[in-house]
C-alpha cells in the first residue's frame, strides 16, 4: 500500500471537515506517528466539535494547519493582540507547532478505539511523554516498537504494509 495521493488526501480531509461541521462528530483513522505512544497507526479517533473556550492544556485536538488536518495535544495557551491561540505538540515530538487560532480549531478527540476497545483519551503521563520523545527521536526504536506491537496483535499482512508506508524504516 502506498501513501495516499495528495489530491485524494485533500478530498478526504475536506469531506471529514464537512461531516464534522454538519454532524458535530466524526471518527477517523490515525495515519501518522507524531502522537506515539498515545495513538498508534490504525487507531480510530472519535472527534467532537469544540470551541476555543471549551478546551485547554492537556486536551488532544484536531486542527487545520497548512492545508492538513493534524491531531496534537494542547501544551499551553498564548495571547497575541488580544486574540487567544493554542500551542500544540505531538506527543512524540520535541518542538511545538505554530499557534492555532479559533478558526483553525476543528474539534477535540474524546475517545480512541484500539483492537475493538473504546477508551477515553487519557492525560499524558511523564512516562508516556518520555516514551514519545524516544519513539519520535529514533527511527530504529520506533520501527522496533511498531514491529513488536504489530506482531503482538497478530495483525494481517495488509496492516503491516500500511505501517511500512507510514514508517519507511520498517
pTM: 0.84
Q: What tens digit of pLDDT does each residue of 120-170 get?
A: 998 999 999 999 999 999 999 998 888 888 787 665 545 555 555 555 544
Q: Residue 121, Cβ neighbours under 10 Å: how many?
A: 18
Domain ranges of the chain: 6-166
Q: What share of the chain is helix, strand, coil (3-state, %, to 5)?
A: 35, 30, 35
Mean predicted confidence (pLDDT) in 15-38: 95
Q: Residue 69, Cβ neighbours under 10 Å: how many?
A: 20
Give the CATH fold of the 6-166 domain.
Umud Fragment, subunit A (2.10.109)
Q: What is the CA radius of gyration of the chain?
A: 16
Q: What tens digit of pLDDT does each residue of 60-113 get?
A: 999 998 889 999 999 999 999 999 999 999 999 999 999 999 999 999 999 999
Amino acid at each position: 500500500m502506498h501513501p495516499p495521493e495528495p489530491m485524494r488526501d485533500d478530498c478526504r480531509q475536506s469531506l471529514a471537515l464537512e461531516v464534522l461541521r454538519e454532524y458535530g462528530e466524526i471518527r477517523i483513522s490515525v495515519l501518522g506517528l507524531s502522537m506515539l505512544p498515545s495513538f498508534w497507526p490504525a487507531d480510530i479517533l472519535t472527534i467532537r466539535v469544540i470551541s476555543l473556550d471549551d478546551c485547554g492544556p492537556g486536551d488532544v485536538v484536531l486542527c487545520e494547519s497548512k492545508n492538513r488536518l493534524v491531531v496534537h495535544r494542547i501544551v499551553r495557551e498564548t495571547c497575541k493582540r488580544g486574540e487567544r491561540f493554542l500551542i500544540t505538540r505531538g506527543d512524540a515530538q520535541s518542538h511545538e507547532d505554530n499557534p492555532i487560532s479559533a478558526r483553525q480549531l476543528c474539534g477535540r478527540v474524546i475517545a480512541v478505539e484500539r483492537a475493538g476497545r473504546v477508551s477515553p483519551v487519557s492525560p499524558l503521563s511523564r512516562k508516556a511523554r518520555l516514551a514519545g520523545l524516544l519513539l519520535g527521536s529514533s527511527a530504529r526504536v520506533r520501527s522496533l516498537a511498531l514491529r513488536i506491537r504489530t506482531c503482538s496483535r497478530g495483525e494481517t499482512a495488509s496492516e503491516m504494509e500500511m505501517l511500512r508506508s507510514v514508517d519507511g524504516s520498517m
